[in-house]
Structure 1
Amino acid sequence: MSNSNVNWAAIDANPKFQALHRKKTFFLWGLMVFSIIYYFLLPIGAAYYKELFNTKVWGVVNFGLLFALSEFVVAWAIAFVYSKKANAQFDAMAQEIINDVNSGRIK
Protein backbone atom coordinates (compact mmCIF):
# COMPACT_ATOMS: atom_id res chain seq x y z
CA MET A 1 0.00 0.00 0.00
CA SER A 2 1.46 3.36 -0.92
CA ASN A 3 1.98 6.00 1.73
CA SER A 4 -0.60 8.34 0.16
CA ASN A 5 -3.39 5.74 0.44
CA VAL A 6 -2.98 5.14 4.17
CA ASN A 7 -5.89 6.17 6.37
CA TRP A 8 -3.96 7.71 9.26
CA ALA A 9 -7.13 8.50 11.20
CA ALA A 10 -8.08 4.81 11.17
CA ILE A 11 -4.62 3.85 12.39
CA ASP A 12 -4.80 6.45 15.14
CA ALA A 13 -8.20 5.12 16.25
CA ASN A 14 -7.04 1.49 16.20
CA PRO A 15 -6.84 -0.11 19.68
CA LYS A 16 -3.46 -1.71 18.84
CA PHE A 17 -2.00 1.68 17.99
CA GLN A 18 -3.53 3.20 21.11
CA ALA A 19 -1.93 0.44 23.23
CA LEU A 20 1.45 0.96 21.55
CA HIS A 21 1.29 4.70 22.06
CA ARG A 22 0.22 4.35 25.70
CA LYS A 23 2.98 1.81 26.53
CA LYS A 24 5.67 3.78 24.77
CA THR A 25 4.61 7.11 26.29
CA PHE A 26 4.51 5.68 29.83
CA PHE A 27 7.92 4.07 29.39
CA LEU A 28 9.54 7.18 27.91
CA TRP A 29 8.12 9.46 30.62
CA GLY A 30 9.62 7.14 33.24
CA LEU A 31 13.03 7.25 31.57
CA MET A 32 12.83 11.02 31.21
CA VAL A 33 11.90 11.59 34.87
CA PHE A 34 14.73 9.32 36.00
CA SER A 35 17.26 11.06 33.76
CA ILE A 36 16.21 14.56 34.83
CA ILE A 37 16.41 13.66 38.51
CA TYR A 38 19.82 12.06 38.04
CA TYR A 39 21.05 15.05 36.01
CA PHE A 40 20.01 17.58 38.65
CA LEU A 41 21.56 15.57 41.48
CA LEU A 42 24.96 16.82 40.30
CA PRO A 43 24.41 20.58 40.76
CA ILE A 44 22.30 20.03 43.88
CA GLY A 45 24.94 17.77 45.37
CA ALA A 46 27.74 20.15 44.47
CA ALA A 47 25.88 23.06 46.06
CA TYR A 48 24.50 21.45 49.22
CA TYR A 49 26.77 18.46 49.89
CA LYS A 50 30.19 19.98 49.29
CA GLU A 51 31.93 17.74 51.84
CA LEU A 52 30.67 14.60 50.09
CA PHE A 53 31.48 15.87 46.60
CA ASN A 54 34.98 16.94 47.69
CA THR A 55 35.75 13.56 49.24
CA LYS A 56 38.90 12.16 47.63
CA VAL A 57 38.43 8.73 46.16
CA TRP A 58 41.75 8.15 44.45
CA GLY A 59 44.53 10.73 44.11
CA VAL A 60 43.03 13.97 42.81
CA VAL A 61 39.81 12.22 41.79
CA ASN A 62 36.94 13.11 44.08
CA PHE A 63 33.37 11.88 44.41
CA GLY A 64 32.00 14.89 42.52
CA LEU A 65 34.13 14.14 39.48
CA LEU A 66 33.11 10.49 39.51
CA PHE A 67 29.46 11.46 39.85
CA ALA A 68 29.79 13.86 36.91
CA LEU A 69 31.39 11.14 34.78
CA SER A 70 28.66 8.71 35.83
CA GLU A 71 26.19 10.92 33.97
CA PHE A 72 27.68 9.57 30.72
CA VAL A 73 27.29 6.00 31.93
CA VAL A 74 23.68 6.64 32.92
CA ALA A 75 22.92 8.23 29.53
CA TRP A 76 24.31 5.18 27.72
CA ALA A 77 22.42 2.86 30.09
CA ILE A 78 19.16 4.69 29.37
CA ALA A 79 19.80 4.37 25.62
CA PHE A 80 20.53 0.65 26.05
CA VAL A 81 17.39 0.06 28.13
CA TYR A 82 15.24 1.89 25.59
CA SER A 83 16.80 -0.02 22.71
CA LYS A 84 16.15 -3.38 24.38
CA LYS A 85 12.54 -2.46 25.20
CA ALA A 86 11.91 -1.10 21.69
CA ASN A 87 13.36 -4.19 20.04
CA ALA A 88 11.50 -6.57 22.35
CA GLN A 89 8.06 -4.93 22.46
CA PHE A 90 7.49 -1.70 20.56
CA ASP A 91 8.84 -2.88 17.21
CA ALA A 92 6.73 -6.05 17.32
CA MET A 93 3.60 -4.06 18.15
CA ALA A 94 4.33 -1.58 15.34
CA GLN A 95 4.94 -4.41 12.87
CA GLU A 96 1.58 -5.92 13.79
CA ILE A 97 -0.10 -2.59 12.98
CA ILE A 98 1.80 -2.36 9.68
CA ASN A 99 0.70 -5.90 8.81
CA ASP A 100 -2.92 -4.98 9.57
CA VAL A 101 -2.69 -1.93 7.27
CA ASN A 102 -1.05 -3.92 4.47
CA SER A 103 -3.61 -6.73 4.71
CA GLY A 104 -6.52 -4.29 4.68
CA ARG A 105 -7.75 -5.01 8.23
CA ILE A 106 -7.29 -1.30 8.99
CA LYS A 107 -8.99 0.86 6.36
Structure 2
Amino acid sequence: MGKIERETNSLSYFERNKYDEIAESNEFQVLDKKKRAFLITSISIMMIYFFTLPIMAGYFKPLMMKEVPVFVNFGYLFATSQFIVAWICAAIYTKKSNQFDDMISEIYERYIGGVQNDKL
Protein backbone atom coordinates (compact mmCIF):
# COMPACT_ATOMS: atom_id res chain seq x y z
CA MET A 1 0.00 0.00 0.00
CA GLY A 2 1.44 3.37 -1.06
CA LYS A 3 1.86 6.46 1.09
CA ILE A 4 -1.03 8.27 -0.60
CA GLU A 5 -3.36 5.33 -0.07
CA ARG A 6 -2.45 5.15 3.64
CA GLU A 7 -3.00 8.89 4.07
CA THR A 8 -6.33 8.68 2.25
CA ASN A 9 -7.42 5.75 4.41
CA SER A 10 -6.43 7.62 7.59
CA LEU A 11 -8.73 10.54 6.78
CA SER A 12 -11.92 10.66 8.75
CA TYR A 13 -15.27 10.25 7.02
CA PHE A 14 -15.92 14.00 7.44
CA GLU A 15 -12.58 14.95 5.86
CA ARG A 16 -13.09 12.59 2.89
CA ASN A 17 -16.53 14.09 2.24
CA LYS A 18 -15.12 17.62 2.45
CA TYR A 19 -12.34 16.78 -0.02
CA ASP A 20 -14.90 15.28 -2.39
CA GLU A 21 -17.04 18.40 -1.98
CA ILE A 22 -14.03 20.62 -2.78
CA ALA A 23 -13.11 18.54 -5.83
CA GLU A 24 -16.66 18.79 -7.16
CA SER A 25 -17.02 22.52 -6.47
CA ASN A 26 -17.18 24.99 -9.35
CA GLU A 27 -14.26 26.99 -7.94
CA PHE A 28 -11.98 23.95 -7.93
CA GLN A 29 -13.10 22.91 -11.42
CA VAL A 30 -12.25 26.39 -12.74
CA LEU A 31 -8.87 26.27 -10.99
CA ASP A 32 -8.18 22.82 -12.44
CA LYS A 33 -9.04 24.00 -15.97
CA LYS A 34 -6.81 27.08 -15.62
CA LYS A 35 -3.95 24.96 -14.30
CA ARG A 36 -4.27 22.38 -17.08
CA ALA A 37 -4.48 25.08 -19.76
CA PHE A 38 -1.36 26.79 -18.40
CA LEU A 39 0.61 23.56 -18.14
CA ILE A 40 -0.36 22.22 -21.56
CA THR A 41 0.35 25.55 -23.25
CA SER A 42 3.65 26.20 -21.50
CA ILE A 43 4.94 22.64 -21.95
CA SER A 44 3.99 22.70 -25.64
CA ILE A 45 5.74 26.03 -26.24
CA MET A 46 8.86 24.92 -24.37
CA MET A 47 9.06 21.58 -26.18
CA ILE A 48 8.70 23.24 -29.58
CA TYR A 49 11.38 25.79 -28.72
CA PHE A 50 13.83 23.30 -27.24
CA PHE A 51 13.41 20.65 -29.97
CA THR A 52 13.96 23.32 -32.61
CA LEU A 53 17.72 23.31 -31.87
CA PRO A 54 18.45 19.68 -32.80
CA ILE A 55 16.11 19.88 -35.80
CA MET A 56 17.79 23.04 -37.07
CA ALA A 57 21.25 21.59 -36.39
CA GLY A 58 20.38 18.55 -38.48
CA TYR A 59 18.41 20.04 -41.36
CA PHE A 60 19.42 23.72 -41.54
CA LYS A 61 23.21 23.63 -41.19
CA PRO A 62 23.86 26.66 -43.44
CA LEU A 63 21.60 28.80 -41.23
CA MET A 64 23.17 27.47 -38.03
CA MET A 65 26.69 28.24 -39.36
CA LYS A 66 25.79 31.78 -40.44
CA GLU A 67 27.87 34.45 -38.67
CA VAL A 68 25.98 36.99 -36.58
CA PRO A 69 27.25 40.42 -35.43
CA VAL A 70 28.50 39.12 -32.04
CA PHE A 71 31.31 37.05 -33.67
CA VAL A 72 29.66 33.68 -33.19
CA ASN A 73 27.43 31.69 -35.45
CA PHE A 74 23.66 31.53 -35.21
CA GLY A 75 23.75 27.97 -33.85
CA TYR A 76 25.77 28.93 -30.77
CA LEU A 77 23.64 31.99 -30.21
CA PHE A 78 20.43 29.96 -30.46
CA ALA A 79 21.81 27.25 -28.14
CA THR A 80 22.79 29.89 -25.57
CA SER A 81 19.34 31.45 -25.80
CA GLN A 82 17.88 28.16 -24.63
CA PHE A 83 19.48 28.64 -21.21
CA ILE A 84 17.97 32.10 -20.94
CA VAL A 85 14.56 30.84 -22.05
CA ALA A 86 14.74 27.97 -19.55
CA TRP A 87 15.32 30.42 -16.68
CA ILE A 88 12.48 32.65 -17.91
CA CYS A 89 10.15 29.65 -18.14
CA ALA A 90 11.14 28.57 -14.61
CA ALA A 91 10.39 32.06 -13.28
CA ILE A 92 7.01 32.18 -15.03
CA TYR A 93 6.14 28.69 -13.76
CA THR A 94 7.12 29.63 -10.20
CA LYS A 95 5.01 32.78 -10.26
CA LYS A 96 2.02 30.99 -11.76
CA SER A 97 2.27 28.03 -9.37
CA ASN A 98 2.29 30.45 -6.42
CA GLN A 99 -0.93 31.96 -7.79
CA PHE A 100 -2.47 28.49 -8.04
CA ASP A 101 -1.33 27.73 -4.47
CA ASP A 102 -3.00 30.91 -3.24
CA MET A 103 -6.21 29.99 -5.06
CA ILE A 104 -6.28 26.47 -3.62
CA SER A 105 -5.57 27.85 -0.14
CA GLU A 106 -8.59 30.15 -0.46
CA ILE A 107 -10.77 27.25 -1.58
CA TYR A 108 -9.45 25.03 1.20
CA GLU A 109 -10.01 27.73 3.81
CA ARG A 110 -13.55 28.31 2.58
CA TYR A 111 -14.46 24.61 2.84
CA ILE A 112 -12.33 23.29 5.69
CA GLY A 113 -11.32 26.43 7.59
CA GLY A 114 -7.64 27.28 7.94
CA VAL A 115 -4.71 26.16 5.86
CA GLN A 116 -3.24 22.81 6.81
CA ASN A 117 -0.31 22.15 4.47
CA ASP A 118 0.38 18.70 5.92
CA LYS A 119 -2.92 17.43 4.50
CA LEU A 120 -2.77 19.11 1.09
Alpha-carbon offset, residue 19 of structure 1:
1.0
2:78 is aligned, of 67, 70, 73, to: 67
* Greater relative contact order structure (CA < 8 Å, 6+ sep): 1
Q: Distance in 2 between matches of 1:43 and 1:82?
A: 24
Give the letter for the 1:94 counterpart: I
1:1-107 map, 5 Å: 4-5=11-12, 6-7=15-16, 8-57=19-68, 58-59=70-71, 61-87=72-98, 89-103=99-113
Give the letter for the 2:65 counterpart: N
Q: Deviation string for 1:52-98 (max 9, x for gaps)?
A: 10012344x211011111111111111111222233x3123111111
Alpha-carbon offset, residue 29 of structure 1:
0.5
RMSD after superposition: 1.8
In the superposition, the TM-score normalised over structure 2's length comes to: 0.72
Q: Distance in 1 between matches of 2:84 and 2:76?
A: 13
Following superposition, which runs of at least 4 residues in structure 1 exceed 4 angstroms of deviation?
none
Q: Distance in 2 between matches of 1:65 and 1:48?
A: 16
Structure 1's unaligned 5+ residue stretches are none
Give the letter for the 2:109 counterpart: N
Structure 2's unaligned 5+ residue stretches are 1-9, 114-120
